[in-house]
């Protein structure tokens, strides 16, 4: 788990709006954007450089990538990308929404969980099945402590082992926003082993039921 260094992006205000104007902006390497947040109740309409923006949007976990947004007045605001709109066919970025973060104020973020060493997992080598029911976890955390991801190492997990949300390594300021008892990762016993015993019991039960269905001797008479 690691918080990445913030990417610096310059935000420029714009007055003209409309689809035609936006197309012209994209043609010269500029992406239309909106910036909003606790101190920007009225959204600020502007643009950001497409090349600078791509350093964030092309990263694996752009939703948790910190941005130092340089405003027109020279002030630098901490921000996160909240929405990235792409063209259906070309996947080129059409528009982005940027959300202001405030120092000392926690923000709710969904952090992706990445699994490593699953191919050498002890429990898998014993015949178990590695299952990951939870792929991301929501936390409240201070802006500068936002982790890019949470890494889970499956190497030493044995058959029947479980990892719960309460077991995750989180930043000091982080607060879980989900139940601490959610299973994030487990090595389950394969169905073939679990079903073997019930099948044997089923055969014995079937024989008893067949015998029980016959009439008693005195009833038959």
Q: Give residue-wise pLDDT tens across range 92-102.
A: 999 999 999 99
Which of the two residues, 1 and 163, has the higher pLDDT score? 163
Q: How confident is the model over 141-173, as pLDDT tens digits?
A: 999 999 999 999 999 999 999 999 999 999 999
pLDDT band of residue 2 (cuts 50, 70, 90) is low
What distances in angstroms separate CA 1 from CA 112, 126, 152, one per listed residue? Answer: 10, 28, 9
* Max Cα-Cα span within the chain: 104
All residues at 6 or more sequence positions from 64 whose CB lies less than 8 Å from its CB, including other chains: 80, 109, 110, 111, 112, 146, 147, 148, 149
The 8-class DSSP code of residue 165 comes to G
Q: How confident is the model over 121-132, as pLDDT tens digits?
A: 999 999 999 999
Residue 142: CB atoms within 10 A of its CB come to 18
How confident is the model at residue 195, as a pLDDT? 61
Tell me the average pLDDT across 19-23. Answer: 86
Q: How far apart are CA 88 and CA 53, in angstroms?
A: 19
Question: With 0-12 CB in 10 A as exposed, 13-18 as middle and 19+ as buried, what is 191?
Answer: exposed
pLDDT band of residue 219 (cuts 50, 70, 90) is very low
- Domains of the chain in sequence order: 7-102 (2.40.240.10), 108-186 (2.170.120.20)
| Residue linked to tokens 């310059």 | 10
Residue 56: CB atoms within 10 A of its CB come to 23
Token pair for residue 123? 């429990």
Secondary structure class of 84 (helix, strand, coil)? strand
Q: How confident is the model over 23-57, as pLDDT tens digits?
A: 899 999 999 999 999 999 899 999 999 999 999 99
**The pLDDT of residue 13 is above 80:** yes
Nearest to 173 by CA among 115, 109, 99: 109
The highest-confidence range among 18-32, 169-183, 189-203, by mean pLDDT, is: 169-183
> Quick one: what percent of the chain has pLDDT higher than 90?
77
Q: How far apart are CA 124 and CA 134, in angstroms?
A: 19
């Amino acid at each position: 788990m690691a918080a990445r260094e913030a990417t610096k992006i310059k935000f420029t205000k714009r007055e003209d709006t409309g689809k035609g104007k936006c197309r012209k902006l994209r043609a010269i390497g500029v992406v239309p954007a909106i910036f909003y947040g606790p101190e920007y109740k009225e959204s600020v309409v502007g643009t950001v450089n497409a090349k600078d923006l791509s350093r964030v949007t092309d990263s694996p976990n752009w939703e948790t990538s910190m941005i130092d947004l340089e405003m027109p007045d020279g002030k630098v605001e901490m921000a996160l990308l909240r929405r990235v709109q792409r063209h259906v066919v070309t996947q080129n970025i059409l528009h982005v929404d940027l959300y202001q973060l405030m120092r000392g104020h926690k923000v709710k973020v969904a952090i992706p969980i990445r699994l490593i060493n699953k191919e050498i997992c002890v429990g898998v080598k014993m015949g178990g099945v590695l299952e990951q029911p939870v792929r991301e976890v929501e936390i409240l955390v201070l802006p500068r402590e936002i982790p890019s991801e949470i890494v889970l190492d499956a190497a030493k997990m044995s058959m029947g082992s479980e990892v719960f949300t309460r077991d995750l390594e989180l930043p000091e300021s982080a607060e879980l926003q989900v139940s601490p008892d959610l299973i994030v990762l487990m090595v389950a016993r394969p169905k073939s082993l679990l079903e073997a015993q019930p099948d044997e019991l089923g055969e014995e039960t079937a024989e008893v039921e067949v015998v029980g269905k016959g009439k008693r001797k005195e009833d038959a008479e």
